[in-house]
Amino acid sequence: MSDRPVRTRIAPSPTGMMHIGTARTALFNWLFARHTGGTFLVRVEDTDRERSTEAAVQVIFGGLNWLGMTPDEPPVFQYARADRHREVVAELVARGQAYRDYMTAEELEIERERARSEGRVVRSAWREADPSTWPDRPYAVRLKSPLEGDTVVADAIKGDVRFQNSTLDDLILLRSDGNPTYNLAVVVDDHDMAITHVIRGDDHLNNAARQTVIYQAMDWEIPIWAHLPMIHGPDGAKLSKRHGSQAVGEFDEMGYLPETLRNYLAKLGWGHGDDEIFSDAQAIAWFDIKDVVSAPARLDWAKLNHINNHYIREADPARLAGLVIEILKRRGEVVRQGDETLITRTIPFVRDGAKTTLELADTVAFVLKSRPLALPEKALSQLTDETRARLGRLRGALTQVADWNVPSLELAIRAFAESDGVGIGKFGAPLRSVLSGGAPAPDLAGALTALGRDESLGRIDDALSLRA
């Protein structure tokens, strides 16, 4: 095995979205590079000129950026390297490892038919032609693949995968329009980028056989292959639209944090025992390609939510407040100066049950309401004369609280209940409605602390001055 310094890459084709599978491939390449002290690279496979718009390319960089996995070197763009690809094709021809194929479209069609009926792959008569007889007309260039024996893809996850050479036709390297083909470009780029480990989805396993033959024809060192099992939906079928979201951007919009995705995606096909939650540092320390399982991984929303809740509880409130503000703006709500500070202060009281930042946005909403709050019917009916009188006395007690924080307020509320001779249940529900306008809210002391002294007393005053 080679002792070259580890260099990994992802090679996404810009399609306008970044698939969750691409994110997982990026993660495994990134973890492996970090684990080995290697380099993580990105190559944009932009040879499909119609799909590879500037916007589609930006979706990939945006996704990687959001996930916190930016490449260690500037990205490589495949299309810009077409001359280099053609140069290698010329070299393969010069080495006698490739040949010009002058079959016309009609001739190819006839050969295809014949190959089909004879149960073999397409073969061109030009394979054995002497280069001195090559005519001056359009041609494609094909690889002179071995006809006998096997090509073995020594895969770090799947083990040795054997392909009978008799089943591989001579791969076209250069089309008659002069454009290099996909498998050729991938090999040249991976070689030139000194990629040591090709870690990608196992939908590319057949390509690995094709690519191995090209490496051999060029006498280039073959990278270590590691083909990852696909991600399936919760029902075990290949992940598709009907399983819900598949694009990285959608997970962002649904209120998942990037560290959640990193932690969760690491568990899809790899894991560290039964560990549910682990940090980037732990994943980097533990990750190894040989521990990736070869069975397909299943997306599990309940686990994803559980992990997201964990990171929401851990995250810096100011950062979460920024995310909540974005959500509110997306919802078309008016965001005022000072709201972000208010939200930051409120988050510690409301985040425990939040599975997503969207839920967090719902649970902080009460603090953003403007006075006087519109009270729902139910809250109004709870405001009997007796309750009003009690809330009035409670207000008085609250004004005596010196430090407006959870422990002091809890103490004050308990002391008031005692002195008023009732359980907290007697006024807790109406007070919460008065403070929140019926929106979800934390417990009393939390709600009061989040609102602050003046706003809390003001909301109580508003309710007391309502006509019964």
Q: Count CA atoms closer than 13 A to 129's CA, side-chain side.
A: 19
The three state secondary structure string of 188-223 is: HHHHHCCCCEEEEEHHHHHHHHHHHHHHHHHCCCCC
Both tokens of residue 198? Answer: 């090709």
Closer residue to ligand GLU in complex, CB, 56/360: 56
Q: Are 79 and 189 in contact (CB under 8 A)?
A: no
Catalytic one among 158, 241, 290, 303? 241
Paired strand residues for 43? 76
Q: Are 351 and 393 in contact (CB under 8 A)?
A: no
Closer residue to ligand GLU in complex, CB, 101/189: 189
By CB under 6 A, name the binding residues for ligand GLU.
Answer: 11-13, 45, 186, 200, 204
CB of 198 to ligand GLU, least distance (A): 6
CB of 212 to ligand GLU, least distance (A): 13
CA–CA separation, 442 and 349 (whole Å) = 6
Task: Specify whether 144 is catalytic.
Answer: no
Closer residue to ligand GLU in complex, CB, 195/343: 195
Closer residue to ligand GLU in complex, CB, 17/457: 17
Residues 6+ apart with CB under 8 A from 14: 44, 45, 46, 51, 52, 53, 56, 57, 59, 60
CA–CA separation, 28 and 288 (whole Å) = 9
Q: Are 223 and 153 in contact (CB under 8 A)?
A: no
CB of 77 to ligand GLU, least distance (A): 12
Closer residue to ligand GLU in complex, CB, 140/186: 186
CB of 31 to ligand GLU, least distance (A): 16
CA–CA separation, 430 and 437 (whole Å) = 10
CB of 16 to ligand GLU, least distance (A): 13
CB of 14 to ligand GLU, least distance (A): 9
Task: Determine the Cα angle at 319 with ends 16 and 450, to 5°.
Answer: 135
Residues 6+ apart with CB under 8 A from 187: 211, 214, 215, 218, 220
Closer residue to ligand GLU in complex, CB, 85/200: 200
**Which residues are catalytic, by number?**
241
